[in-house]
Homo-oligomer: A and B are copies of this chain.
Amino acid sequence: MTLYVIGLGLCNEKDITVRGLEAVRSSTRVYLEAYTSVLMVQKERLEAFYGKPILLADRDTVETDSDAILHDADTQDIAFLVVGDPFGATTHTDIVLRARAKHIPVRIIHNASIVNAVGTSGLQLYNFGQAVSLVFFTDTWKPDSFYDRIKENSDLGLHTLVLLDIKVKEQSDENLARGRKIYEPPRYMSIPQAVSQLLEIESLRDQKNLASKTTLAIALSRVGGDANDQRIVCGTLEELSQQSAEVFGEPLHSLVIVGKRLHHLEVDYAQEYAVNKETWRRVASQVYGCALE
């Protein structure tokens, strides 16, 4: 019948669309993609809401055993659930290609993702350049191409959405070497760590593109969550780096580096979230050149 690839939105079980919920309820099997992103609710709560069991699809299942997911999809509806929108990650185009090859009709059900919901910060989506990912650095591995991307945006005056790393189902080197399928607890990069990594690359390269005192940034936590759950905090990179972890709360966190094309309406809207309104407006005016009243 149909493979439904359904976006769950950002936060909890009620962020699915009505159309998506109907597709879940018509499906014989329901898979939840469980490795490129993380929903802020437990699988059990989704199951209670849908009234049916959910099968977790980890990377192995999707990449090496997609036949199991697509089994009988020519005669039954199958639902494949993805946090955010279905096309946030390459792997989801992969399952669609596999279905096409088997002549199984595919139906995409879209939803919000951080790429558009970041507008909740008050920054205009038109003023964003390419989005970048920031991965956890190790002592020996500090991939820094994200920094060049931010600079490309920044040279055009554009904002950059920085997506922070998530490690789910990670194996320790030892367990990996011994082939033991024992996984480490999930890790989520926090705002302070992200800012620290940004400034580390800046310092290693001896550049002044993201000078901590004069670069504005907006930290977003659990976008789409309830009013007492979602948090937006903005200020200079230095100000954000000085906040305690509690200020940003639980994961997931994202970060926006503000570009010079900043508009005074963006400044006005976001100042509600400023660590220090006076600094926020002063840097926007003096460094970014915004004509504020």
Contact = CB atoms under 8 A, between A and B. Distances in A.
Contacts of A90: 124, 265
Interface stretch (A62-70, A109-117, A212-220, A245-253): A109-117
A110 B15 CA distance: 8
A200 interface: no
A176 interface: no
Interface in A84-104: 84-88, 90, 93, 96-97, 100
A132 B129 CA distance: 11
Contact of A126 (B100, B117, B120, B131): B131
Interface string A117-133: 10110101111111111
A20 to B, nearest CB: 8
Given A110-B112, A130-B129, A130-B158, A85 B14 contact: no
Question: What is the size category of the interface that chain A forms with chain B?
Answer: 35 or more
A211 interface: no
Given A17-B17, A110-B116, A125 B22 contact: no
B16 A85 contact: no
Contact of A100 (B110, B128, B223, B272): B272
Interface of A: 7, 9-10, 12-19, 21-22, 84-88, 90, 93, 96-97, 100, 105, 107-108, 110-113, 115-117, 119-120, 122, 124-133, 152, 156, 158, 223-224, 227, 265, 268-269, 272
